[in-house]
Structures are given as C-alpha cells and as structure tokens.
A = this chain, B = another copy of it.
C-alpha cells in the first residue's frame, strides 16, 4: 500500500477492514488500460453491442414524458413498472412472483452486499463453489465471513461432495449454475435437482446468482434453482409459486448495459422487507433515471431481440476462442467449453503458476486473471480465467497466440531439463 500521510481518520479504521486488499482483478484491469494489451482479464460486455439508439430514444421519452419524476427521489424498492417487467421475466423462468418479491439494486453487486449485511455475522461460514465469483467474496469480507467450499468439475459444482459441507451448517449456499464465473461450467439438470433436494433437506438457504442465464450459445435452457425449488412445493408445473428456499439474483448489466447499474433480487417478502431497510441506509434507492431508462429501453420485446443479437456475437467469439486455444495452447493445457456466458477456465500443465505467468503475459501484451483469485480457501494456481466477450475474433486469435507462446516458453526449460 502506498505510504499515505496520517490523519486523525487513518488510525481509526474498523477492525473489519483488516487485511482487506483491493480487488486483484480491478488492480489488474488498470494495467490493461494500455490499448495495445489484448485483455481477456475483464468481464466486460462488448461495447459494440450496446443498444445506443434504443437508450437514446428511452432517455428522450423518459425526460419528455416523466422528466420530473425521473430526476426526483423515489422509493427504495424500485420503479414499479420495472419490477413488474422483472416479474414477467421470472415467470418465463417458471416462477410466479409479485413485485413484493423484487428489489431493484444498484447492479447485482449491491444485492450481494445487502444480503451480506442482512445475513452474515462475523465468523459465519458461507458455502461457495471453488472457484467462485470474486465480487461476492469482496462484498462479504466486510462482514467477516468465513468460507466452506465445494470444488467444480467440468460440469460445475460436484454435488456428490456437497452433503458433507451442508452437514457442517453453513449460513447459506452461494452458487452460479449457468455459465459460471469464472469456471465457464453449467450445472446439469440432475445435479440441480440433487442440489436443491440436499439443501432443502439440511434447511440450507440457496443464493442463486444468474447474471448470464440468457446468454446461451448452444443446448437447451435449464430450469433455474428457484424454479426447481418451486416445483418441490408440489404445485402443477404451469404455476409454480415462489417458495423462498432459493433467492435469485439477476442483472441487466450483461443484456442491456452495465453502465446503468441495474440488478435485482427475488426473495421472500420478509427478506425483501429487510433488504429494503438495508438499502435505505446504503443509498436510499437506485437512480430513478436509470431505472426508468432501462425499463423504457427493455420492455415490449426489445430486450429479447437484443439478447438474440448478443448471443450471435458472443457465440462467435466463444467459438473463436475455443478454436484459437486448440491451435495455440501447448499440450497439457485444458479448458472448459462453456455453453454460454462470458468466460472460460483454462488449466495449465503441472508445475506452472498462472500468477507468475501474468507478468510475462502483460509484457507480451495479453492479459488474463490468475485463477487463485477466485478461491476463498486457496488453490487454483495452475488455472486462469479467460473472457471472450470483449475482444473481437481477430483479437481473440492474436491474444491466444501470444498467450500460447508465453506458456510454451515456460514449459520449454523443463522439457530441456528432463532428458
């Protein structure tokens, strides 16, 4: 840490901030500001697919028709037409909820923070996948969470290793079943059912984070955990009332635009009531203007059409990255083949450490995130997260070539040393 001048403020930090370090990813992203670096490090949507015209039209409409409301304070729960739209969205996912089950948040990162504040006492153990979403660890470290983990394989969380962890009584289970960040994995239907069944048996609440669910490039949509939980209620498949064992996090960041900061939580009414209290203290409400603009831009079928276009663009980029990896990665490397989302997860041959490789990679103008960042209890040194949504296919091809060469060089001395 930089050597700052001391002030009366600086020796009084709360103990919860001890050992808290800045996000490895965000610090790394600063290095990748160099325009010559081909970055697979961020989790950025491609700006080429941002619906500028639609947002422009939405801004004009909102200001012309509801300008005074759009610039005023508004309710903590969120803009009602937006929450109603999100209910209709959830219904297509097989779950019946009302606006009383929905809280609009300032990105789904805020939902993670509010849930942490609501649920986590110092020392509580949260059960996560290993690896897991770094932002969740960041949000919860402020509440002094501890962790239990279940490892991923190429199909996601290994449900056969889950029961032992559930037995030790975690506060809740946090999981990304679709197109995992960072793992790129998708949990098969059988594992989803088994997971919900086990969690239900042990009374463990599930927090389902689904930022990428609509971005599927192959295969069939799988039911969300919140839907499977609703099925357990015994209602007919056509009308699953929300049951509340699973809370669901969604976001418009990957389908509309992250710069608007619109996410949402679906939760039991009693939890929403408490989360609203937390959010009142945290930021009063999410910007009225961006909520209204997001609603105007998204509703009435536009978002579905737009998501189709994003799928085409990102699907092509995923294919480009898979092809480039086949071509340029040395033997002994392997990687996940994501059915959707923004990321894949590559593992290097035995003996290599992606955390050491990153510096040489940056010299060669290619960036990734070392895998160890995503493990709350350590591990992952041989792995890395590669984003394929941000760069176009040509850049992907060139970036993977550079990356393959860096890895190759690190392998070479070993091969020489072993006659």
Contact = CB atoms under 8 A, between A and B. Distances in A.
A168 to B, nearest CB: 15
A203 B120 CA distance: 33
A47 B68 contact: yes
A138 B280 CA distance: 8
B52 A71 contact: yes
Contacts of A59: 56, 59-60, 63
A14 interface: yes
Interface stretch (A91-99, A209-217, A260-268, A341-349): A260-268
A278 B205 CA distance: 26
B281 A139 contact: yes
A44 interface: yes
A283 interface: yes
A71 B200 CA distance: 39
Interface residues of A, number: 102
A232 interface: no
A121 B17 CA distance: 10
Given A22-B280, A281-B109, A282-B109, A10 B268 contact: yes
A203 B8 contact: yes
A183 interface: no
A400 to B, nearest CB: 23
B274 A119 contact: no
A244 B12 CA distance: 13
Contact of A56 (B48, B63, B204): B63
Contact of A258 (B73, B269, B273): B73
A323 B283 CA distance: 35
Contacts of A45: 72
A45 B72 CA distance: 8
14 contacts: A4-B268, A4-B273, A15-B121, A17-B118, A44-B72, A56-B63, A59-B59, A59-B60, A72-B258, A106-B286, A117-B142, A135-B284, A139-B282, A261-B286
